[in-house]
Amino acid sequence: MKLKLLLLTAVAAVTATAAAQQVTITRQRDLGVTGFYPVLNASAERVLFTDLNADGLSALTLATGDVTRITDAPGAGISPAWDASGNVYFMSQTVGDDRMIYRAGNRYDAATARTTQVLAPQRGAVRPLISAAGDVAIRGTKSYRSTASTATTVYTDQSSLVINDANGERRLSPVESFAGYLWASLSPDGTRIAFVAAETGVYVIDLEGNILSRLGRYEMPSWLDNDHLVVQHATDDGYQFTSSQILLLAADGSFSRELTAPASMTMQPCAARGNIVYTTIDGHLRLMSIEVSK
């Protein structure tokens, strides 16, 4: 009886929290471009996008609709990153004389519209990573950092989260996952990590690996602010998507809200400062602005 009462009390507390959250969609519009895998900058003024195969990279200015072509490089759309000054870091790949794939790290200077190779071609994965402070690290066999900052960055490596900070590098595996981790990202204040364990879904942990919440079987989590994330919720029949929608979740697991319908086939959300850019299954980039209040 005591256990039942405790469970009912916990459910009531979560329900009350959810009911108190008010979500208002203040703006929705089609961005007039075709693209996939959008990446908003921290000020929510510009968004990167690529093609379905992640080849090439462009930047759209949301206020004007102007599009800047950054590169045609194969693979450039795989996890590019903005720094605090509006510069773009991306990976490019080439096939060497030995028929092996080599990946390089590149920096696009927003002021001069010039691209500089900052990390020489190398075998294996190359990952641009953004810290909460706005500096960028490119991780590979050899690495690069845009500033001397030791601000925290995180990425996934199979079933590990690899955290780099002032104390060096450490690996955490807070959740068992034979299929590995995906989509690790830091909260805006740099104190928590959201990631996906392939078999069980989205988790939020602190920097010591303590699990703070399990949010459900969703994909591609992106921090809207320190208290909320947006995610993709897709279903499939083993061959193709049967539904896909965008959800808003409280980072503590107390609240969820549908932002688009399952039949909308909307996916790949990215968020910043109350704004969400996402795409449809046929590549129509869209913007949604929301306000969350109690």
Q: What percent of the chain has pLDDT over 90?
A: 82
Helix (H, G, I), strand (E, B) or coil at 74: coil
Residue 149 — very low, low, confident or very high, per pLDDT cuts 50/70/90?
confident
4 three-class SS: helix
For the record, the structure tokens of 51 come out as: 């093609």
* The pLDDT of residue 20: 63
Q: Which two tokens stand for residue 58?
A: 């462009």
- Please tell me the predicted confidence (pLDDT) of residue 242: 96
Task: Count CA atoms closer than 13 A to 102's CA, side-chain side.
Answer: 12
CA gap 25, 31 in Å, rounded = 17
Query: Is the per-residue pLDDT at 9 higher than 60?
Result: no
3-state SS class at 8: helix
The bridge status of strand 228-236 relative to strand 101-109 is unpaired
| Nearest alpha carbon to residue 102 among 85, 128, 129, 125 | 125
Class of residue 260 by CB neighbours under 10 A (exposed 0-12, middle 13-18, buried 19+): buried
pLDDT at 294: 76
Q: Over the stretch 61-115, which tens digit does the pLDDT of each residue have? A: 999 999 999 999 999 999 999 999 999 999 999 888 899 999 999 999 999 999 9
Mean pLDDT score, 175-190: 95
How many residues belong to the chain? 294
The mean pLDDT value for 250-259 works out to 96
Backbone angles phi, psi at 27, to 5 degrees: -160, 140
Cβ atoms of 67 and 31 closer than 8 Å: no
- Condensed to tens digits (0 to 9), the pLDDT of residues 215-254 reads 999 999 999 999 999 999 999 999 999 999 999 999 999 9
What does DSSP say about strands 57-61 and 46-50: parallel, antiparallel, or unpaired?
antiparallel
Calculated CA dihedral for residues 39, 23, 182, 106, nearest 10 degrees: 10
- State how far the Cα of 191 lies from the Cα of 187, in Å rounded to an integer: 6
The partner residues of 27 in beta bridges, in order of sequence, read 289
